[in-house]
Amino acid sequence: MSGIPGFRSAAVLSAVLLLAGCGAGIGDVVDGAAAAKPTPSGSAAPTPAPSDDSSPARRYLTSDQLDEALVGEDGFPAGWQTLPATDTTTMPGKGPIVIDKPECAKASELLNLGNAGIPPMGTAAIVAMSPRDRALSGVTVAAFGAGDAGRLIDRVREVVPRCATFSSTRDGKTFTQETTSVPPLRLGDEAYAMVVVTRPPAGSATSGWAHTAAVVRVGDVLIETTYVNLDGPSPEMPDEDLLRRQVDRVKAALAGKPLPPG
Contact partners, residue 16, CB within 8 Å, separation at least 6: 83, 87, 88, 127, 136, 138
The domain segmentation of the chain, as residue ranges, is: 6-255
pLDDT at 67: 96
Please classify residue 206 by burial: count the beta carbons closer than 10 Å to its beta carbon, then call 0-12 exposed, 13-18 middle and 19+ buried: middle
pLDDT at 153: 97
Low pLDDT (below 50) residues in the chain: 1-13, 16-18, 20-54, 86-91
Arch. (CATH architecture) of 6-255: 3-Layer(aba) Sandwich (3.40)
pLDDT at 5: 34
* Cα distance between residue 200 and residue 20, in whole Å: 22
pLDDT at 230: 83
The string of pLDDT tens digits covering residues 199-235 is 888 888 778 889 999 999 999 999 999 999 888 888 9
* Cα distance between residue 79 and residue 81, in whole Å: 6
**Which residue, among 50, 217, 232, has the nearest Cα to 148 in the 3D structure?**
217
pLDDT at 232: 82
Q: Which long-range contacts (CB under 8 A, 24 or more apart) does 3-9 make?
A: 3/133, 4/133, 6/205, 7/200, 7/204, 7/205, 7/206, 8/205, 8/206, 8/230
pLDDT at 9: 46
pLDDT at 3: 36
pLDDT at 38: 31
pLDDT at 50: 44
